[in-house]
Amino acid sequence: MSQPLTDDQIQRILQGIKIPPQPQILVDLQIEQIMPEPDLQRIAELIQQDVGLSGTILKVVNSSFFGLKNRITSINQAVNLIGMSSVINLVNGLSIKSQMSDETIVNMNRFWDTATDIAQVATQIAKQVGYPNPDMAYLLGLFHNAGIPLLMSRFDNYLDIMERSYAHPDHRVVDVENAELDTNHAVIGYYTAKSWHLPKILCDVIAEHHSASRYFNAGHQKDSEAKTLLAILKMAEHVCGNYRILGKQQEDREWEMIGEEVLTYLGLGSYDLEQMEANFEEMGIGFRNYRW
């Protein structure tokens, strides 16, 4: 039986959390809470669809309060370890903190939609290529852009900057952000992931996810788990049309530079990519299903 968190502990955990949860997810969680017998598995399924909620849950379970020897990367396992009472209290605490205007919700939808879609697609790619820990691929897809809502809350013009960064023909996305903001969402995402006690390898890949070209060129021959995760992420981003939804671009400039090398590294071909795009399109995931 897990020991419930105290009110003081919950307040300390929630301090500094700035990524608001999706309103519909909160509504669904509240509905589940008032059921005669709330289903912890259903609660975990809802939580793992949201960046802010998932990050908070992992921050809790991997904190010194639980004293676990190994870091937890499964949201389902984390929810079970924390227990029903504490999870509900954490969710309710975040719900109180996340009062958003209609305009903010509309802008955040672009971030929320891509995060959950990319996480799902990354999981399937991981399974297809035989990566042994699909949970890690899911978390990377979910959290890799965690810096975006934090920069949105700090800079009123961030969405315009982000769109220009995706449109630049030569510079990396992070180069344009660095020039205009003296920081970028990959760096902010890295420190956010660290504060949530995510595994170091995920934090490192988040920091590098717009520098993938250095890993997938003729001069870089070293294979590693981080490179595999990065390849899975970049393919998932492309399949989900991240460049269209966040960047509002018709062309995926990053994929044009590294796509062939990424597919080769993963042992896949253009036919595999086309089949994957078609399969996810049937599920409502992919750039052909998004209009702006």
Q: How confident is the model at residue 26 (pLDDT cuts 50, 70, 90)?
A: confident
Q: State the Cα–Cα distance between residues 105 and 110, nearest whole angstrom.
A: 9
Residue ranges of domains in the chain, CATH in brackets:
7-97 (no CATH), 102-289 (1.10.3210.10)
Question: pLDDT for 51-83, tens place per residue?
Answer: 989 998 998 888 877 778 888 889 999 999 988
pLDDT of residue 273: 92
Q: State the Cα–Cα distance between residues 245 and 251, nearest whole angstrom.
A: 11
Question: pLDDT for 218-266, tens place per residue?
Answer: 666 677 899 999 999 999 999 999 898 888 898 999 999 999 999 999 9
Angle at 173 between CA 167 and CA 176, to 5 degrees: 85
Q: What are phi and psi of 106, to 5 degrees?
A: -60, -45
Q: State the Cα–Cα distance between residues 198 and 189, nearest whole angstrom.
A: 11
Q: How confident is the model at residue 8 (pLDDT cuts 50, 70, 90)?
A: low
pLDDT of residue 6: 63
pLDDT of residue 11: 55
Q: State the Cα–Cα distance between residues 16 and 215, nearest whole angstrom.
A: 33
Q: Which stretch of 93-102, 198-207, 224-233 has the lowest confidence by average pLDDT?
A: 93-102
pLDDT of residue 2: 54
Percent of the chain exceeding pLDDT 70 equals: 88
